């Protein structure tokens, strides 16, 4: 089973599922063959056709594209972790829990605070606000009670770092996935 398929179950309440959309494409094609009746009518028709095409191509295309945008938790392939409880994931990314449930040392990586994927990861998967994570890290770093996660600049770098760092754990949009990392489903 490829890691991409494994990841489909990660969010049970996700409103955006991959759907089949090929069946709806031909619906508007006959309209293109109609003869124009007059200027106003043809303009009206052109608008209708454009609208219908937009709906056909993009409206139904949205679920598929959204899935590409979905943020997934990724792990170094050497990490033997099953589905991760959300609470555990939250404690790990808050840098409080430093080992996996199986006892392996973790190396947490995050995108910059202002990166939109970071906000979507924090709110969507961990159910915390980015400002709460930032405060938790700062409080640890500046009180001598812990360390900050490693920051990577982009999703491409995230993928590379998680794939090559022992214990590596991070997140990217599904569209960036390849077989170099595991997708970790989240359990409630």
Partner 1 sequence: MTVSMSCRWQSSFRVRWSLAALAGLVCQPAQAADAMDTLQVHGFISQAWLISDDNDLFGPSSEGGGSYQYTELGANLSFRPHPDVLVAAQVLSRRAGGEGDDLQPKLDHGVIDYEWLSNTERRLGLQLGRFKNPFGFYNQTRDMAFTRPGILLPQSIYFDRTRSLALASDGISIYNEEYLDSGTLRLQAGVGNPQAGSDLDGALGLGESPGSFEGETSYIGQLLYEHEEGHVTAALSAADVEAGYRNGKPGPGDGTFHFQPWILSLQYTEELWSLTAEYALRGIQLEDFDAPGRNTDTTGESWYVQYTRRFQENWQWLLRYDVLVNDRDDPSGTRFEAAGGGPAYTRYAKDLTTGIQWRLHPQVLLAAEYHAIEGTGWLPASDSDTLPEKYWNLFLMQASFRF
Quick one: which of 34, 37, 43, 105 contacts partner 1 (CB under 8 A)?
105
Q: Which stretch binds partner 1 (CB under 8 A): 29-37, 62-70, 106-114, 180-188?
A: 106-114
The position carrying tokens 């973790």 is 106
Beta bridge partners of 172: 72
Phi, psi of 170 (to 5 degrees): -160, -155
Asked whether 186 and 87 are in contact (CB, 8 A), the reply is no
**What angle (nearest 5°) sits at the alpha carbon of residue 133, between those of residues 132 and 137?**
120
According to CB under 8 A, which residues from 127 to 156 bind partner 1? 127-129, 131-132, 135, 138-139, 141-148
**Taking the CB of residue 166, how many other CB atoms lie within 10 A of it?**
11
Torsion angle in degrees (nearest 10) through CA of 163, 168, 171, 172: -20
Q: In this structure, what DSSP letter does residue 111 have?
A: -
Residue 8 CB, nearest distance to partner 1 (Å)? 24
Question: Judged by CB under 8 A, does residue 97 bind partner 1?
Answer: yes
| Shortest spacing between CB 128 and partner 1, in angstroms | 6
Q: Is 85 in the site for partner 1 (CB under 8 A)?
A: yes
- Contacts with partner 1 by CB under 8 A: the residue count is 32
Which stretches of the chain bind partner 1, using CB under 8 A?
85, 87-88, 90-91, 96-99, 101, 103, 105, 112-114, 123, 127-129, 131-132, 135, 138-139, 141-148
């Amino acid at each position: 089973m490829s890691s991409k398929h494994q990841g489909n179950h990660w969010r049970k309440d996700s409103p955006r599922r991959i759907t089949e959309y090929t069946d709806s494409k031909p619906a508007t094609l006959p309209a293109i063959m109609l003869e124009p009746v007059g200027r106003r009518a043809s303009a009206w028709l052109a608008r209708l056709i454009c609208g219908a095409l937009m709906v056909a191509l993009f409206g139904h295309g949205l679920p598929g594209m959204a899935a590409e945008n979905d943020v997934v938790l990724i792990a170094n392939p050497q990490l033997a972790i099953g589905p991760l409880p959300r609470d555990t994931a939250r404690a790990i990314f808050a840098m409080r829990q430093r080992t996996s449930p199986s006892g392996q040392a973790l190396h947490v990586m995050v995108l910059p605070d202002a990166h939109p994927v970071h906000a979507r990861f924090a709110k969507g998967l961990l159910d915390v606000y980015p400002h709460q994570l930032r405060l938790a890290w700062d409080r640890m770093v500046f009180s001598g009670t812990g360390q900050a996660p490693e920051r990577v600049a982009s999703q491409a770098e995230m993928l590379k770092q998680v794939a090559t760092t022992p214990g590596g754990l991070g997140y990217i949009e599904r569209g960036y996935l390849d077989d170099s990392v595991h997708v970790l489903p989240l359990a409630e």
